Amino acid sequence: MNSRDINYAKKDGVDVIYLAGGCFWGVEKFMTAIPGVLRATSGYVNGNPNIVPTYEKVCSGDTGYKEAVRVEYNKNVVSLDALLYSFFRIIDPTLKNRQGNDRGSQYQSGIYYNDDNSKAVVEKVVATEKLRYKKFSVEIEPLSIFYEAEKYHQSYLMKNKGGYCHISNEKVDMAAGMIVDPSKYDRPHTDEIRKKLTELQFSVTQNDATEPPFDNDFWKSSERGIYVDVVTGEPLFSSRGKYAGSCGWPSFSEPIDENALVYIKDYSHGMVRTEVRSRVGNSHLGHVFVGDPESPNGVRFCINSASLRFIPYDDMEEEDYEKLKKFIVR
């Protein structure tokens, strides 16, 4: 690919991706927090090649450049899949030329790749993310040009603790605690999913149906083990986080890895709720509620049994979930 990253030389064992998600201060801080990210550098991406960008020029909106971050990472520690799914947590992909309080073409969100391997991963993750939204405005392009921003922009929020950031500390902390690698799981084609699942499982996970309460596989289950996405096998919940709720569906106080879940506002049935979906499979799982007196921490993940497959503790090693045993034994 014919791309130019000014003042950057490829390093052995280091892969790179370029992400634009509003103000680069926050994106840089967020990406730096993820284990396996070696360096995040603020800069300007894919603008007019005849213009050498500066912050003032880019803010004019006339250069075509977007504020972006070059993310250098060790793929043996963190996958590109994980970085991209994390990135989608900090942007609203339905917005054009806007993120948070930032407005203007320089704040257009985007993903820019510089090799065919990265392109394939980007296209796979984007295909899944598009399933979640009726409108998708993230720019997906090969890298054409990237300039590092001025020195005072680099590590800005590290040097200015009270500086503006459109990304919450909660999201930064969540990314830093990533446990499950999404690159190990794939969403099959819908035809394959239909063949694999029962009619009820397909209806729940793919068409957002709800199974009957008090008459489902895991409502009363207390066996030790983990619950994975019935579509992809991605680990979601464990028996340690399960409690005896009275709602009629499996109740969990916490997931194995918060990063493996996606939360979407649900306005159906005249209510305002928070829907829970799986990250890679985009399976409808159920809803999450805050303020449940039965839950140890007040949080109830009310999940359809039909969206889950249970892996008993004694089978976890055989099914390649051995590393997650520590999340079951207290």
Residues serving a catalytic function are 23, 302
Q: How many CA atoms lie within 13 A of 104 on its CB side?
A: 16
Rg, the chain, Cα only: 21
Longest dimension (CA), the chain: 66
∠231-291-246 over CA atoms, to 5°?
A: 65
Which amino acid is residue 54, in one-letter code?
Answer: T
Q: Token pair 């109830």 is at which residue?
A: 300
- Quote the CA–CA distance of 257 and 179 in Å, as a whole number: 6
Q: What gap in Å lies between CA 181 and CA 172, rounded to an integer?
A: 17
Question: CB-based burial of residue 184 (10 Å sphere; 0-12 exposed, 13-18 middle, 19+ buried)?
Answer: middle
Helix (H) or strand (E) holding 265: strand 261-266
CB atoms near residue 255 (< 10 Å)? 24
